[in-house]
Amino acid sequence: MSESFAMSVDADGVATISWDLPGRSMNVLTEAGIAELGACVDRALGDAAVKGIVVTSAKADFAGGMDLGMIARMKEAAGPDPAKGVFEGVMAIHGLLRRIERAGMDPKTLKGGKPVAWASPGLSAGIGTEIGLACHRRFVADQPKAKVGLPEILVGIFPGAGGTTRLTRMLGVMAAAPVLLEGRMLDPKAAKAAGLVDEVVAPGELLAAAKAWVLAAKPEEIVKPWDAKGYRFPGGAPYSAGGFMTFVGASAMVHGKTQGVYPAARAMLSAIYEGALVPFDTALRIEARWFTSVMTNPSSGAMIRSLFLSKQALEKGANRPKVEDQKVRRLGVIGAGMMGSGIAYVAAEAAIEVVLIDRDQAAADRGKATVEGLLADAVKRRRRSEAQAAETLARVTATADFAALAGCDLVVEAVFEDPGVKAETTRKAEAVLEKGAIFATNTSTLPITELAKASRDPADFIGIHFFSPVHRMNLVEIIRGRETGDRAVAKALDFVRQIRKTPIVVNDARFFYANRCIIPYINEGVRMVGEGVEPALIENAAKSLGMPLGPLQLVDETSIDLGVRIAKATRAAMGDAYPDGAVDDVVFALADAGRLGRKASAGFYVYDEKGKRQGLWPELRRRWPAAAEQPDVGEVRLRLGMIQALEAVRALEEGVLTDIREGDVGAILGWGFMPWTGGPFGWLDILGAGRAVEICEGLAARHGPRFEPPRLLRDMAATGGSFYGRAAVAA
Ligand SMILES: NC(=O)c1ccc[n+]([C@@H]2O[C@H](COP(=O)([O-])OP(=O)(O)OC[C@H]3O[C@@H](n4cnc5c(N)ncnc54)[C@H](O)[C@@H]3O)[C@@H](O)[C@H]2O)c1
């Protein structure tokens, strides 16, 4: 017995059930935990001396959620019928939470139950919150780190321990939607405003307040509305005038947002709709069935793997070389432009001292002013207090004097994308840096191994590639040059961990990993414009795949002139083998017309005077007349999806990627690769290598050799292997 739940009864007869999973900083619900919580609840309900119950945590937080390994174990334990295992496992949890909710009352008279309060000292996510929803009154400590929510949807599942059914029956579909469908974690005040919790109290008074409520609770306060006579679904059940509007609206909203590619969102909506037509206990069974359906859907498995398990493993340093702690104390940032100021901001937020350097004091000051602006925004959004913002800003020293870099243990350079300027910067910085300090470049296209030649010690030189905007994008691509040493890799990883982002470590090759895959995606879209495919068909096909931006919108965002520069450099490097002439015809024509993308308020799209996108540029269809016969949307989708996935496979084959988990996590966080697939390798596994090869051969025959399946994929198809299967064998 792991003894994660303990119970004590005080002199007033209030039982406190306190959760404290041994050996972990955060509570997660395990099989043993379910049994223990059940035993505590039964003991308290059965003991005549106990008047009521407070469910709380002995840790700083209530719970992070469910142990996701538990579902895998439920499936395994059920042998040939994994769905049965999940369904029965989930129904057992429903049974327990329902016992808490009914709290021993007579099912007919609804009398004789004991009040149960939920008291969360800090964060409560997922099943932690679902336990709370089963209790009769919810208390949360009023402290900055406290958050309450049901973020399941973000990893491809939905609240399946009653959270979906209870919250919609408490609040109605519209009010529950932001919590359920967007997975938002709410601070205590917002949680109270949303109706998710009842009381926000000072941390020191949390238990006292919960106990006081338990002792004073009236019998009618512990009967849930859906158990009482005359319950009406808030906003109306489906077959009522109000309900009809709500459910039709919700369905349209969910499909609009998810394009129907996320099984979890659809299943959750079905559980809500079908559940609203039947009594509560039947609704829970329906929720469990839909939850099981999602849990046995390969997309959800792939999302959980990439967005939760792999992401967490990478953040914890799965691929960190075994060298001593390399935490950054003092960071130098050279180049106080868009990227440099963003890097300075996230580092200062992580309590790191920052020296921010530019060519002259005015430019450095502008960079610091950008940091100040970001902090002001955080204050406005109430994510930081004025005092915290001032403290963070004080950590940033803006100067043009390279001598200020003395004492920095890491420097990140974000000057112009020019090898000469970068080399000069490296030399000037290293002249003042102590031996052993690590020098990193934020270049997006220049080979690290080449840039390292300017360094006094290429072992201490590395690429740390941030994405724009730095404060929002969570991926950081760490690039090992040919001579980069382990300590530099560890330094970069420890830095990324300090600033709470997700790292991938890749080897040095043209465009590293993320840009290498994004560029072909953009090019494929642009190429289709040249072929006379309707531009709207291209954009909509991309969105219906679950890509956040269509390729034409993406190139507008990143700018057409950048596309021209990259095309020219690639053509120079590849010579006759350059395959993208047809793409350049279109991109160069836009550049010649002065349509440089969003920043010029003109590109593949038309923008109004405020810079808001208005629609595709009508002239596109005149310059590249629409072909009489348009391709099927499925064909356009496959072209746009496969062109990215194949590039990821080639990156793996060539050793740029060394870990498919990094390939998958990097793709979703870096450029929004269809999250429902769990990443390019996840997608190919869902399709199966055999089917993927067949698709690619067809595409290659119709559109050209860029779709030829790589050797690795062909071999896999021949042997019946899969990327994750293969990885499992290798591990
Ligand atoms: N913009 C992006 O989306 C993006 C994304 C990833 C990486 N990058 C890379 O980050 C780097 C910076 O890009 P940016 O968009 O921030 O550019 P930017 O033009 O906004 O900023 C560059 C800054 O460097 C300063 N600078 C130039 N030469 C200098 C020198 N010798 N000493 C000190 N400061 C100098 C400039 O004054 C300017 O403030 C580039 O290498 C770029 O490729 C950019």
* DSSP assignments along 644-659, one per residue: HHHHHHHHHHTTS-S-
Pocket test for ligand 1, best of 338, 345, 425, 479 (most atoms within 8 A of CB): 338
| Ligand 1 and 343: CB distance under 6 A | no
Nearest CA to ligand 1 atom 38: 337
User: What is d(CA 312, CA 343) in angstroms, rounded to the nearest whole number?
Assistant: 22
Tell me the backbone φ, ψ of residue 125, rounded to 5 degrees. Answer: -125, 155
| Ligand 1 and 363: CB distance under 6 A | yes
Looking at the chain, how many residues does it have? 731
Could you read off the pLDDT of 361-405 as tens digits, one per residue?
Answer: 999 999 999 999 999 999 998 888 999 999 999 999 999 999 999
User: What is d(CA 117, CA 192) in angstroms, rounded to the nearest whole number?
Assistant: 15
C-alpha triplet 125, 128, 133: angle, nearest 5°: 105
- The secondary element (H helix, E strand) that includes residue 571 is helix 560-574
Nearest CA to ligand 1 atom 4: 468
| Ligand 1 and 401: CB distance under 6 A | no
What's at 430, amino acid-wise? Answer: E
Q: Please give the pLDDT value at position 463.
A: 98
**Which regions of the chain are under pLDDT 50?**
1, 727-731
Q: Which of 362, 319, 363, 368 has the alpha carbon at shortest distance from 343?
A: 368
Could you read off the pLDDT of 478-527 as tens digits, one per residue?
Answer: 999 999 999 999 999 999 999 999 999 999 998 999 999 999 999 999 99
Q: Please give the pLDDT value at position 420.
A: 96
Q: How far is the CA of 573 from the centre of ligand 1 (A)?
A: 23
C-alpha triplet 295, 300, 303: angle, nearest 5°: 145
Helices 633-653, 514-531: crossing angle, 10 deg rounding: 150
Task: Report which DSSP code applies to 117.
Answer: E
Q: Residue 344, by phi and psi: left (phi above 0), alpha (psi -120 to 50) or beta?
A: alpha
Q: Please give the pLDDT value at position 731.
A: 34
User: What is d(CA 361, CA 359) in angstroms, rounded to the nearest whole number?
Assistant: 7
User: What is d(CA 432, CA 525) in angstroms, rounded to the nearest whole number?
Assistant: 47
Alpha carbon 122 to its chain's center: 21
Nearest CA to ligand 1 atom 36: 335
User: What is d(CA 93, CA 34) in angstroms, rounded to the nearest whole number?
Assistant: 7
Residue spans of beta strands (DSSP E) within 575-634:
605-607, 613-616
User: What is d(CA 433, CA 332) in angstroms, rounded to the nearest whole number?
Assistant: 10
Q: Which of 19, 103, 99, 2 has the alpha carbon at shortest distance from 65?
A: 19
Contacts made by residues 235-243, CB under 8 angstroms, sequence distance 24+: 235/172, 235/173, 235/174, 235/175, 237/276, 237/277, 238/273, 238/276, 238/277, 239/277, 243/276
Task: Report which DSSP code applies to 84.
Answer: H
pTM above 0.85, yes or no: yes
How many other CB atoms are there within 10 angstroms of residue 218's CB atom?
8
Strand order in the sheet with 185-186: 123-125, 147-149, 185-186
Give the max Cα distance, the chain: 87
Q: Please give the pLDDT value at position 2.
A: 55
Tokens describing residue 520? 């072909």
Nearest CA to ligand 1 atom 11: 414
Q: How far apart are the first and last CA of the chain?
A: 30
Pocket test for ligand 1, best of 333, 365, 416 (most atoms within 8 A of CB): 416
Contacts made by residues 256-260, CB under 8 angstroms, sequence distance 24+: 257/181, 258/546, 259/543, 259/544, 259/545, 259/546, 260/544
Q: How far is the CA of 417 from the centre of ligand 1 (A)?
A: 7
| Ligand 1 and 421: CB distance under 6 A | yes
Q: Please give the pLDDT value at position 586.
A: 97
Q: Cα dist. 169→225, 229, 279, 284, 377 in Å?
A: 8, 14, 11, 12, 36
Q: Which of 161, 146, 160, 153 has the alpha carbon at shortest distance from 180?
A: 153
Reduce the secondary structure of 291-317 to three states and give it as a string.
Answer: HHHHHCCHHHHHHHHHHHHHHHHHHCC
| Ligand 1 and 443: CB distance under 6 A | yes
**Residues 356-385: b if buried by 16+ CB within 10 A, e if exposed:** bbbeeeebbbebbebbbebbeebeeeeebe
List beta partners, residue 502: 475
Pocket test for ligand 1, best of 356, 358, 360 (most atoms within 8 A of CB): 358
User: What is d(CA 694, CA 428) in angstroms, rounded to the nearest whole number?
Assistant: 54
Determine contact, residues 190/102, Cβ cutoff 8 Å: no
DSSP 3-state of 36: helix
Using the atom order of ligand 1, give the atom closest to the CA of residue 339. Answer: 16
| Ligand 1 and 444: CB distance under 6 A | yes
Determine contact, residues 639/654, Cβ cutoff 8 Å: no
